[in-house]
Amino acid sequence: PGGFSYGDYLRSGAIARFSPIMQDVVRFAEAGGLVFGICNGFQILCEAGLLPGTLMRNDSLRFICKETTLRVENADTPFTSACTEGQVVTIPLSHGEGRYYADDEVLNRIERNDQVLFRYSTSDGAVTDDANPNGSVHGIAGLVNDVGTVCGLMPHPERCVESLLGGDDGRLIFESLLNHVSAVAA
């Protein structure tokens, strides 16, 4: 899901979660199907209750469109298996409401369960306030649900899959998914 659905009225993803197709997405996820929400898709997955937390206005109150570096936190998921833990990837981001937020109880749970997949970082992998473009709590850029089958990511890996176009770090995520699906199908 994604794409400024329903004009992001009320808040990002709030109305889209009531779209009839979301009933099927929820059923698919509950049956163990892989669901990947990029940017507005991440916002919708949070609004639909498939991922914990919410996405809020960037702390700058401005739309951000730039490349950002992310540190891979968990490489043991269908979305990150082609990565290595601690690896730094460069992925473009483009959003006005990308600041991840959750209360302390939820944050403690997702940290304890290794649900955070990516954090905003410096090019050498340090998670700092300066490296966090939108003010996301704990520098969270992407995470999975508690069983690892639903993933939300604010940056856009689909925009960097070909080195001729400026970078291919996003390809790692899609290779991870392809490897997982191929292994399951074998």
pLDDT digits (tens, 9 = 90+) for 116-167: 999 999 999 999 999 999 999 999 999 999 999 999 999 999 999 999 988 9
List residues with catalytic annotation: 39, 156, 158
- The rounded distance, in Å, linking the Cα atoms of 46 and 52 is 6
Give the total number of structural domains in the chain.
1
**What domain range includes position 153?**
5-185
- What are 18's strand-pairing partners? none
Interval 3-52: pLDDT, tens: 455 555 555 555 666 678 889 999 999 999 999 999 999 999 999 999 99
Q: Where are the beta strands (DSSP E) in the chain?
A: 35-38, 54-56, 64-72, 88-95, 99-101, 116-120, 140-144, 150-153
Q: End-to-end CA distance of the chain, in Å?
A: 27
CATH number at residue 98: 3.40.50.880
What phi-psi label fits residue 32: left (phi over 0), alpha (psi between -120 and 50 degrees) or beta?
A: left
